[in-house]
Amino acid sequence: MANRIILVLVLVPLAVIIIALAVANRALVPFTIDPFNPGNPALTVHWPLFTYLFASAVLGMVIGSLATWFRQGRYRRDARERRKEVDKLRKAPPAVARNAPQIKHSAS
């Protein structure tokens, strides 16, 4: 229940801010890829400013997710190796007691 309240308290204001940002920044803004000739129409696009903002946020999330995924690769590899070892032990036949030392019980 507390998670839902916190989620609502965070997501609702964030959604309002994002919607207000998108509505306020509808003017077309040029974005050029050629820094030496910024007037080149072949390498310039005109999109609303909020499109650039959202695209940069999505790109940041993708890059962050990939960095986290690569950084945690060794933990996933260790988990896979442990899972293989557990599966191998589960499939192995039960140990035979013939090699175990025999304990003789004396009748006292």
According to DSSP, residue 34 is labeled -
Return phi, psi of residue 32, to 5°.
-115, 145
Check residue 88 and report its DSSP letter.
Answer: H
* Cα separation, 108 vs 103, whole angstroms: 15
The H or E element that residue 45 is part of is: strand 44-48
Copy the structure tokens of residue 27. 């003017």
The whole-number pLDDT of residue 55 equals 92
Rounded to whole angstroms, the Cα distance separating 62 from 68 reads: 10
Considering Cα of 64, then 66, then 71, then 73, what sign does the dihedral take?
positive
Alpha helices in the chain (DSSP H): 2-24, 49-71, 73-91
What's the pLDDT score for residue 96? 52
Distance CA 14, CA 11 (A): 5
What pLDDT does residue 59 have? 97
Residues of the chain with pLDDT under 70: 94-108
- What pLDDT score was predicted for residue 79? 94
